[in-house]
Amino acid sequence: MKKLKVLIAKDGKVTVEAEGYTGPSCAEATRKVAEALGKLDWGRAKPEYFETEITSQVTQSQG
């Protein structure tokens, strides 16, 4: 299950972690939350980032 975990330390420092994602979509998800909260510091990829994201292809047929 996809989950975003926001950890807010006693000094107000925010860390956003994405769970259950593969590929670059996780960076987008964490960036969106962090951007809403404040000034982005830096982001780093976990190993799963480099895994290929499996996306489903939708084919639309004309009738």
Q: Is 41 in the site for other proteins (CB under 8 A)?
A: yes
- Residue 49 to residue 17: CA distance in whole angstroms: 12
3-state secondary structure (DSSP) of residue 62: coil
Q: Which is nearer to other proteins, 12 or 63 (CB)?
A: 12
- Of the chain, the end-to-end C-alpha distance in Å amounts to 36
Angle at 24 between CA 23 and CA 28, to 5 degrees: 140
Q: Is 54 in the site for other proteins (CB under 8 A)?
A: no
| Residue 59: CB minimum distance to other proteins, A | 24
Interface residue with other proteins among 12, 58, 60, 61 (CB under 8 A) is 12
Binding residues vs other proteins (CB under 8 A):
1-19, 21-23, 26-27, 29-31, 33-49, 51
